[in-house]
């Protein structure tokens, strides 16, 4: 290995380890840390993030990247080393624009904000969270100001989660699918509604948990390199490709949150566990983007987990675990878990309405960043857009503006990646079915090895070597295109609702 490449990898290993330490502290914060530990945890996280930022912007790293430019020009463009230099240079250029003092203040602010969000959500009282969010929005506006080269302030935030994507690009994609999804939802609304009452009854929590573990074990989740815990808002986190942890939540009176939340987070984790070992501790072991990551979680949750072939295999086992479902035919169960009905909660939304939840959040975030919407007005703005987009008005803050944890962590710019992930998942699914014509039969038999192997080869192993649009193009033959997702929704719900 070239000596300078080796030196680069050595520097990046330290930076990766610091980020993993930060992630571990964050995981504990959302799972086991007592509420009183928030201030101390904020100081600890701020220190770690400052150290990581200083190392990631050090003169030593900058000088080394300059020295590596001639070598990079001679390397195969898609090689690990070429991509490592390219991605590191991109990260370095962006990081050097942000002062360490900003990183420290942001980390301390968001740590306290997350605890305030938990309390505010429990009490359904936005006023508890409001001052924290006001500070976060101001910090995000300041962050955007460090990047005057972007066309729109929101581009700087979006780029952190979706490298290379622009605000206008996302808005154009959303504008193209919004009328088609609204048309589909209206068509469904004109038909008799399916019955899902059987999902809303008492389901033993421990049995739910065990069933979820059975499913994701069969998917291929490696328990020697992961674990599952409870959290107020489910998430997946990584401390290396050999320690990828998931969290979920369980509702004792509703089966869907645990069932599909666990599959969803497992999809993220399978991606993390599938990155090529040679990318470990280089910064390339993270996923290509949040949208590509979301394509994996939505693929396993929806295209696999909400499919009829999947339940032809797993439904007898679920009926064994929960005898109260023994009188519910498979067809009725399948329609019930796929019921289309405008809801308050994004993470519990059906596939047909889910993207509308994302679109309203994107509009709100852009308006916050532009100063056209003030934090104090958010509950009313949120409720108004819920009525406009979905025809429902949340009864309280918990089911409205406080339902997501993201803003408390400063993750403004994140939400659009969920909808983009839906689109990518459908594109990938069409390609997989071309390559594996017997895929449905494999799923019906409870066999997921070939599916996981395909995803590992085409997507997982590459980590962050390729930007999202580039990776999607390589895998499917085109950049992010909503057509496949609209085809998927139209066919699936056309059959369920006899459209």
Q: What is the mean pLDDT of residues 151-166?
A: 95
pLDDT at residue 357 above 70?
yes
pLDDT at residue 271 above 90?
yes
CA distances from 220 to 48, 213, 270 (A): 33, 11, 7
Query: Per the domain annotation, does 159 fall within a domain?
Result: no
What DSSP letter does each residue of 425-463 carry, written as one string?
A: HHHHHHHHHHH-TTHHHHHHTT--HHHHHHHHHHTGGGT
User: What pLDDT band is residue 232 in, cutting at 50, 70 and 90?
Assistant: confident
User: 149, 183, 203 — which closes off a domain?
Assistant: 149
Query: Per the domain annotation, does 162 fall within a domain?
Result: no
Residue 236 φ/ψ, nearest 5 degrees: -120, 140
Query: Per the domain annotation, does 158 fall within a domain?
Result: no
What integer pLDDT is reported at residue 347 of this predicted model?
Answer: 85
User: What pLDDT band is residue 362 in, cutting at 50, 70 and 90?
Assistant: very high
- Tens of pLDDT, residue by residue over 169-204, are 999 999 999 999 999 999 999 999 999 999 999 999
Q: Are residues 142 and 172 in the same domain?
A: no
pLDDT at residue 397 above 70?
yes
Query: Per the domain annotation, does 157 fall within a domain?
Result: no
Query: Per the domain annotation, does 181 fall within a domain?
Result: yes
Query: Per the domain annotation, does 154 fall within a domain?
Result: no
pLDDT at residue 233 above 90?
no
What integer pLDDT is reported at residue 431 of this predicted model?
Answer: 98
Model confidence, pTM: 0.93
Q: Are residues 172 and 142 in the same domain?
A: no
Residues of the chain above pLDDT 70, percent: 100
What integer pLDDT is reported at residue 152 of this predicted model?
Answer: 94
User: Average pLDDT over the chain, rounded to whole?
Assistant: 96
The residues that bridge with 228 in the sheet, in sequence order, are 246
- Tens of pLDDT, residue by residue over 242-270, are 999 999 999 999 999 999 999 999 999 99
- Tens of pLDDT, residue by residue over 24-72, are 999 999 999 998 999 999 999 999 999 999 999 999 999 999 999 999 9
pLDDT at residue 5 above 80?
yes
Q: Are residues 121 and 196 in the same domain?
A: no
Domain count, the chain: 2
Active site positions, annotated: 265
Q: What is the mean pLDDT of residues 86-115?
A: 95
pLDDT at residue 398 above 90?
yes
User: What pLDDT band is residue 1 in, cutting at 50, 70 and 90?
Assistant: low
CATH number for the domain harbouring residue 418 = 1.10.1370.30
Looking at beta carbons, which pairs linking 91-98 to residues 24 or more positions away fall under 8 Å?
Answer: 91/56, 91/283, 92/56, 92/57, 92/61, 92/62, 92/65, 94/147, 94/159, 95/53, 95/56, 95/57, 96/57, 96/62, 97/146, 97/147, 98/53, 98/143, 98/146
Q: Are residues 372 and 405 in the same domain?
A: yes
Q: Are residues 200 and 325 in the same domain?
A: yes
Query: Per the domain annotation, does 155 fall within a domain?
Result: no
Gap between the Cα atoms of 45 and 21, Å rounded: 9
Q: Are residues 133 and 252 in the same domain?
A: no
- Tens of pLDDT, residue by residue over 303-355, are 999 999 999 999 999 999 999 999 999 999 999 999 999 999 998 899 999 99
Determine the structural domain holding residue 129 and report its residue range.
Answer: 3-149
Q: Are residues 460 and 324 in the same domain?
A: yes
pLDDT at residue 435 above 70?
yes
């Amino acid at each position: 290995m070239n000596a300078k490449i080796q030196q680069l990898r050595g520097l990046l290993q330290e930076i990766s380890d610091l980020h993993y330490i930060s992630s571990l502290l964050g995981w504990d914060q959302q799972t086991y840390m007592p509420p009183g530990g928030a201030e101390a945890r904020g100081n600890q996280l701020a220190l770690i993030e400052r150290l990581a930022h200083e190392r990631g912007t050090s003169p030593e790293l900058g000088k080394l990247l300059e020295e590596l430019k001639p070598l990079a020009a001679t390397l195969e463009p898609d090689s690990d080393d070429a991509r490592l230099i390219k991605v590191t240079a991109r990260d370095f250029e962006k990081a050097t624009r942000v002062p360490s003092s900003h990183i420290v203040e942001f980390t301390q602010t968001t740590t306290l904000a997350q605890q305030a969000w938990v309390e505010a959500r429990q009490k359904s009282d936005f006023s508890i969270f409001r001052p924290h969010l006001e500070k976060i929005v101001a910090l995000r506006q300041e962050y955007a100001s460090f990047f005057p080269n972007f066309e729109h302030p929101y581009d700087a935030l979006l780029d952190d989660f979706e490298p290379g994507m622009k605000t206008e690009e996302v808005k154009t994609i959303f504008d193209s699918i919004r009328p088609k999804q609204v048309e589909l939802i209206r068509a469904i609304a004109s038909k008799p509604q399916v019955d899902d009452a059987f999902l809303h009854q008492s389901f033993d929590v421990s049995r739910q948990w065990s069933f979820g573990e059975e499913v994701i074990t069969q998917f291929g989740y490696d328990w020697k390199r992961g674990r599952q815990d409870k959290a107020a808002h489910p998430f997946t986190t990584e401390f290396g490709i050999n320690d990828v942890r998931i969290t979920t939540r369980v509702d004792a009176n509703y089966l869907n949150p645990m069932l599909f939340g666990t599959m969803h987070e497992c999809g993220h984790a399978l991606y993390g566990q599938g990155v090529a070992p040679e990318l470990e501790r280089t910064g390339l072991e993270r996923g290509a983007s949040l949208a590509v990551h979301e394509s994996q979680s939505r693929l396993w949750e929806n295209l696999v987990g909400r499919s009829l072939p999947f339940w032809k295999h797993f439904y007898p086992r679920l009926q064994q675990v929960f005898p109260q479902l023994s009188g519910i035919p498979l067809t009725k169960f399948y329609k019930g878990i796929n019921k289309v009905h405008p809801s308050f909660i994004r993470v519990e939304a059906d596939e047909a309405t889910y993207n509308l939840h994302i679109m309203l959040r994107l509009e709100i975030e852009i308006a916050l960043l532009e100063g056209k919407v003030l934090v104090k007005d958010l509950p009313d703005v949120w409720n108004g857009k819920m009525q406009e987009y979905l025809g429902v008005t949340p009864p309280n803050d918990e089911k409205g503006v406080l339902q997501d944890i993201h803003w408390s962590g400063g993750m403004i710019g994140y939400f659009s990646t969920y909808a983009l992930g839906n689109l990518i998942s459908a594109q990938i699914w069409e390609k997989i079915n071309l390559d594996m014509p017997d895929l449905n039969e494999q799923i019906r038999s409870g066999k997921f090895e070939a599916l996981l192997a395909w995803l590992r080869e085409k997507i997982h192993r590459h980590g962050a070597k390729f930007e999202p649009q580039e990776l999607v193009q390589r895998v499917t033959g085109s950049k992010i295109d909503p057509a496949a997702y609209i085809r998927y929704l139209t066919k699936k719900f056309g059959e369920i609702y006899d459209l």
